[in-house]
Structure 1
Amino acid sequence: MSAADGGRSGDARARAAQTKRDRTRRALLDAADANFGTRGWARTRMEDIAATAEVSPATAYNHFASKHTLIGHVYKPLVAALVAQADQDRADGRPLADALKDQVSALTRMAFRNRGLTAALWFAINDYAGGRPSGPSDPGDPDDPRVLAPIPDTMVGLIADGQESGEYRRYPEAAEVAALAANMVMIRSVNRPHEPPEHAAELLLTVIFGLLKPELLQDAERPFSRA
């Protein structure tokens, strides 16, 4: 066999191995989505996810360090889509108040539509943070669900731009407002399973703009009502 033949054979084996890894990873993510969404955080074990994906628990742990990592990766695409829209609105120079209203409404609909996963993420965040020093998450931690699925990032850029331009009050800081809003939407989706997302979004927007631009609330009794 020539060196070229050997190289092609090695490349083919490497591609096949990578394809297998990708398929296994996808199977685990799909299995985690199904288990977290129906069984919840506490009742779902890594062994349950592995069984649904038809792999061994050892294989599951080779791909994902823990349940915390898995729920973060499952929820990550949902958050990423909203962050991409916010970035596009900022790049297009869209009016910040309009973009923030739409972003909060979209975030609330997403969180409520995926209530099971949102609840699992909420409990995962609290469980993960509970075993570590208090304070903000470490951006370099690859297993922290807050880093993998950073819900505040869906709003923080739009708020920061408004504070920098003078459209919004500078206090509280954008990261604090966005974190408060993210916690609120997750808590309401968990604790109020029958609440319409439009109602939660209205309350959320009232809190956000009450902090950042209170004069907007004087224009109407319920300026964010979709009724």
Structure 2
Amino acid sequence: MAALRESGPSARDRIITAAVRSLSELTPALMLSAVGTRAIARRAGVSTALVFHHFGSVETLAVEVVDRIFDPGTVPAGEVGATIDALAESALPVDAAVALHHNEFLRVTGDPELRLRLGVWALGGPTADAAYQQYLAAIDARLEPMLAKLLHSWGRELRPPWTPSTYIAAHSSLLSGSVTRHLIDPDRGDIDSFARAAASMSMISMRVIGDRHTVEDRLSEINYYPLRRGRRAITEISERKHAVLLHTAAEQFGTRGFAVTKMSQIARAAKVSESTLYSHFVSKAALAAELFDKQAADGVLRGGTGHDQGADQPDSLERAVRALVTAAATRTDIAPPYLAELVDPTSRRAPQTVITALAKLLNDGHRDHDDRMEEATMIIIATIRRTLRFPSHTARMVAAHVLRERVRTSPEQTHRS
């Protein structure tokens, strides 16, 4: 008894470890042996001798049992096909996709051999692995033409890099995992959650026939989150795309002209959808305004910095205004939309780069930031207005007039001019 007590804890652990290893080393033949050929014969209503007459050994019987469990012919193809046929003429793919995935969830959950198939695969070793792989391949091959038929009826195709086989495999994995979770934890693994998750994947994975955008394009379109003040928080990927869209717009405006260029043409040239373009710019005018701001900012910043170390503030301000005149004179197509953004009191989208650059030159140490930003805005408005109104005037003439009026005119009068 003393020896038993001393070896109790370690012996108990060794027994549990051995039992776990024994389970992990199971095969279908060992599982049938655990059931017993006598019990199998009794359930079949035959003698044990007849079992061995037909199969010769438990191992041979196990091979055929595995083939039976993983026979794709047991899956009701007609039921799946009927569901797809019923949805083929649906007007709204979103609703139809939810209904399709909902029905598939019910079908798999109601499969009487689902648990058995999973159990034999989990404990059956390499033999069951190969059988399950063949089973899944056969099911997927049967679903591919059904998927093609459904997509065609909706006028859709899969977005790259999806192919029919990879999409079906991904959906099958989501389905089987969700059903398993539902059987284990029905409160959390509910059917509606799966149907909407699967439909979301389907919607991102499909595109209108002829569209060139990939899954990555679609994901980048939705990869933004609003800030508290209503402006988008641009991620690194979205920020790069934002710059590409500005560059493409500049090329399209330069080739066709601002007035006749359409947002759809810019989107097509940038290889994005129109919804992506509008997620970055609410209108063509807003796009042009930001483009002018970016292009004018370089000249204004260089002018404000000056080329000599001893440049004082008035000279720097004049050079910056002259640079703005040059920008407006050379981009008379997109300067007006930029001006419209500045003078619209309801607009909160006015670009700030040029305004901020001029406001720094107005810093005399006595006024606050808002006052300097307001005066900078008025100077820019007056400069662009005069440049567009008197195209024959030189940059020096316009700058001299604007800065002279700046001294004599109040902010309220400048706004009304």
Superposed pair shares fold, TM > 0.5: yes
Paired with 1:190 and 1:122, the residues of 2 have a C-alpha distance of 10
Query: Alpha carbons of 1:210 and 1:125: their partners in 2 closer, same or farther (altered >3 Å)?
Result: closer
- Alignment partner for residue 64 of structure 1, among 272, 278, 281? 281
The two structures, once aligned, show a CA RMSD in angstroms of: 3.9
- Alignment partner for residue 157 of structure 1, among 347, 360, 365? 360
The answer on whether the counterparts of 1:79 and 1:149 sit within 8 Å (CA) in structure 2 is no
For structure 2, the 5+ residue unaligned runs are 1-215, 221-234, 411-417
Residues 1:196 and 2:379 aligned together: no
TM-score, length-normalised on structure 1?
0.57
SS of 1:151's partner is helix
- Alignment partner for residue 28 of structure 1, among 240, 245, 259? 245
Paired with 1:175 and 1:27, the residues of 2 have a C-alpha distance of 29
| 1:27-176 matches, cutoff 5 A | 27-36=244-253, 39-40=257-258, 43-82=260-299, 84-85=301-302, 88=305, 94-125=311-342, 129=344, 132=346, 138=348, 144=349, 146=350, 148-161=351-364, 164=366, 173-176=371-374
Paired with 2:393 and 2:372, the residues of 1 have a C-alpha distance of 27
- Deviation, structure 1 residue 205: 2.5
Aligned letter for 2:323? A
The answer on whether the counterparts of 2:286 and 2:337 sit within 8 Å (CA) in structure 1 is no
SS of 2:354's partner is coil
The answer on whether the counterparts of 1:36 and 1:120 sit within 8 Å (CA) in structure 2 is no
Answer with 1 or 2: which has the greater Rg: 2
Aligned letter for 2:386? R
Query: Alpha carbons of 1:63 and 1:211: their partners in 2 closer, same or farther (altered >3 Å)?
Result: closer
Q: Percent identity?
A: 22
1:225 corresponds to = none
Paired with 1:36 and 1:115, the residues of 2 have a C-alpha distance of 11
- Deviation, structure 1 residue 57: 1.4
Q: What are the Cα deviations for residues 34-61 of structure 1, in whole angstroms up to 9, with x where unaligned?
A: 44455335x4432232233343312323
For structure 1, the 5+ residue unaligned runs are 1-13, 139-143, 213-227
TM-score, length-normalised on structure 2?
0.34
Query: Alpha carbons of 1:185 and 1:35: their partners in 2 closer, same or farther (altered >3 Å)?
Result: farther
SS of 2:366's partner is helix
Query: Alpha carbons of 1:193 and 1:52: their partners in 2 closer, same or farther (altered >3 Å)?
Result: farther
The answer on whether the counterparts of 1:83 and 1:153 sit within 8 Å (CA) in structure 2 is no
Paired with 1:157 and 1:73, the residues of 2 have a C-alpha distance of 20
SS of 1:164's partner is coil
Query: Alpha carbons of 1:111 and 1:210: their partners in 2 closer, same or farther (altered >3 Å)?
Result: same
